[in-house]
Amino acid sequence: MIFKYNVFVALVVVLSIWANIEGRSVSKFLTEETVGTKWAVLVAGSNGWFNYRHQADVCHAYQILKKGGLKDENIIVFMYDDIANNTMNPRPGVIINNPHGQDVYKGVPKDYVGEDVNAENFFNVILANKSGITGGSGKVLNSGPNDHIFIYYTDHGGPGIISMPTGLVYANDLINVLKKKHASGTYSKLVFYLEACESGSMFDGLLPEGLNIYVTTASNPNESSWGTYCQMGAGGPCLVECPPPEFKGVCLGDLYSVAWMEDSEAEDRQTETLNDQYNTVANRTAANLTYGSHVMQYGDTVLSVDVLFQYMGAASVNHSHVSMNSESSSQNVDQRDVELFYLTSKYQDAPEGSDEHFETGVKLIKTIAERSKVDNSVKHIGDLLFGVEKGSEVLQHVRPAGQPLVDNRDCLKSYIETFEVHCGKLSSYGKKHIRGIANICNAGIESEQMASATAQACSS
């Protein structure tokens, strides 16, 4: 026993000498050497100018990881890439993610762009299934059993789904992919950060413990997430932390996303833990009387004691251009209202009597009308299926925490398709009604009844 103790002491001494030669502490040495390769998958799942913030978020995340020491060969980026060189961009070739205007676009790998940003490629990248990839760079998450993985996804969402430029990522499909990745034995630990409305519904009641996966989401299963650093046209209410005036109607970032990224830049990632960051981000994003959401944790929360360095690498602490106040002083906008915010700002800023003023006004009226139409259509479907007195109650029912959104995932997919055939494609606003469609499934409504009700509701 004494011999074993002396051997242990001698080993610690040797490690200490070695670490000191390298100018590092024993704790830092052990942290560095026990982590394999760090991998990252970064996804912006939207397109279009008024969704500027999602690609800005992903580009900023790339810069943080790159400065932290991750190699391009280990960072996989999904983004439509229609923002930097968009004709609407007042700074061609540049994307910014905060009001101080530092370019985050330069150097970002374009692994999957345009139509190659889709659910199938995303899943095949995670599973390192190169033969299943269509288009893009072909880069996949070719991780090993000692490696750490960081996945960051930012986009629109709805109950049980997150969006892609075309199609949807369903919660059950994502969970199954993560389970397969775990079963393959090709990672040690995985951290997943998700920014989207109702993002908690992607994991609540679905992600089991024991997969060595730690998740935080921008919102709980029942609420929107928020855009931030938003610039209202025509002298809007933004007083501090305002975007440059040329970015009228645009949100430069998302509240949860800029919170974790600015914290990662402001703090020492070799000492700050995932739990420290969760608390900081939850504080800044917290719901109040005018804006905000409840940041959530899922999966193996025991991993939250890990330091950020293990997933994001380390970089010199940067206290410049960082706004870490617990309450954002910027203009914040519900993600579901960002398109309205953009059109309203553009309309107010256009010269009265100009073509732009008229055309934007027409688009604004059309967008409001479409929102009203989908609300009325869903309500009508509920009335037809459950009666006028109970329809709204059934559709709006929220299950208790820890219970998945829907019992039959195939039913949800099928009924969303049925709805879109008869009532049109669900917009980022309309996706909030997926909860109602899930509740129709949970109530046991047959497919023929659903088809009849949607056809009747949306033909009138």
Residue of 54, 60, 148, 197 marked catalytic: 197
d(CA 23, CA 453): 70
d(CA 457, CA 460): 6
The contacts of residue 328 (CB under 8 Å, 6+ apart) are 228, 241, 255, 284, 291
Residue 364 CB burial class (10 angstroms; 0-12, 13-18, ≥19): middle
Q: At what angle do helices 447-459 and 355-386 cross, to 10 degrees?
A: 140
CB-CB contact of 239 with 326 (8 Å): no
Phi, psi of 132 (to 5 degrees): -90, -5
Rounded to 5°, the CA angle 185-186-191 comes to 105
The token pair at 136 is: 């893009």
d(CA 235, CA 305): 45
Residue of 60, 156, 380, 433 marked catalytic: 156
d(CA 64, CA 437): 39
| DSSP letter, residue 351 | P
Residue 444 CB burial class (10 angstroms; 0-12, 13-18, ≥19): exposed
Closest CA to 95 of 252, 215, 295: 252
CB-CB contact of 308 with 197 (8 Å): no
CB-CB contact of 249 with 231 (8 Å): yes
Q: Is 197 a catalytic residue?
A: yes
* Residue 59: strand, helix, or coil: helix
d(CA 251, CA 49): 10
Closest CA to 347 of 323, 364, 335: 364
Q: Is 156 a catalytic residue?
A: yes
User: Which residues does the annotation mark as catalytic?
Assistant: 156, 197
